[in-house]
Chain A
Amino acid sequence: MHETAIGMSVVETVLAEAGKKNALKVSKVELEIGELTFLGTEQLEFWIRNGFDDTIAAEAEIVFRSAPARINCDACGYEGGLPRKEDPADHLILPVFSCPECGSTKITITSGRDAFIRSIEIETK
Chain B
Amino acid sequence: MKTIQTGNGKTIEITVDKSLYRKNQEIADANQRLLDEHSIKSVDILGSIGSGKTTLTGQIVARLKNRMKIAAVAGDITTTIDADRIRENGGEVLQINTDGGCHLDANMVKKSLEVLDLKNLDLVLIENVGNLICPGGYPVGAHQRMVVVSTTEGPYMIVKHPHIFKDASVLAINKMDLAEAMEVDLQQLKSDALSIKPDIKVVFTNGRTGQGVTELISALNLSE
A44 and B11 CA atoms in complex are apart in Å by 26
B39-64 CB contacts (< 8 Å) to partner A: none
Decide if B165 touches A117 in the complex (CB within 8 Å): no
Mask for A71-97, Cβ within 8 A of B = 1, else 0? 000000000000001010010101111
Chain B CB within 8 A of A105 CB: yes
Interface size on A, residues (CB 8 A): 42
Question: What residues on A are CB-neighbors of B12 within 8 Å?
Answer: 21, 23, 121-124
Decide if A118 touches B20 in the complex (CB within 8 Å): no
Interface residue from B21, B22, B165 paired with A37 (Cβ < 8 Å): B21
Binding site for A on B (CB under 8 A): 1, 3, 6, 9-22, 101-103, 105, 133-134, 136-138, 156, 159, 162-163, 165-166, 195-199
Chain B CB within 8 A of A110 CB: no
Mask for A15-32, Cβ within 8 A of B = 1, else 0? 001000101000110000
Interchain Cβ contacts under 8 Å between A and B, 17 examples: A2-B102, A2-B103, A17-B14, A21-B12, A38-B133, A38-B137, A85-B195, A95-B196, A96-B198, A97-B165, A98-B197, A105-B197, A113-B21, A115-B21, A117-B20, A118-B17, A124-B12
Interface residue from B133, B166, B199 paired with A109 (Cβ < 8 Å): B166
A23 and B162 CA atoms in complex are apart in Å by 42
A10 and B18 CA atoms in complex are apart in Å by 9
Chain B CB within 8 A of A36 CB: yes
What number of A-B contacts does a CB cutoff of 8 Å give?
111
Chain B CB within 8 A of A68 CB: no
Decide if A116 touches B196 in the complex (CB within 8 Å): no
Question: What residues on B are CB-neighbors of A92 within 8 Å?
Answer: 159
Decide if B10 touches A124 in the complex (CB within 8 Å): yes
Decide if B159 touches A2 in the complex (CB within 8 Å): no
Chain B CB within 8 A of A114 CB: yes
Decide if A38 touches B136 in the complex (CB within 8 Å): yes
In the complex where A38-B136, A95-B162, A98-B198 touch, is A1 in contact with B18 (Cβ < 8 A)? no
Instruction: Give the one of A2, A10, A14, A123 with max B CB within 10 A.
Output: A2
Question: What residues on B are CB-neighbors of A66 within 8 Å?
Answer: none
In the complex where A97-B166, A97-B196, A115-B21 touch, is A2 in contact with B13 (Cβ < 8 A)? no
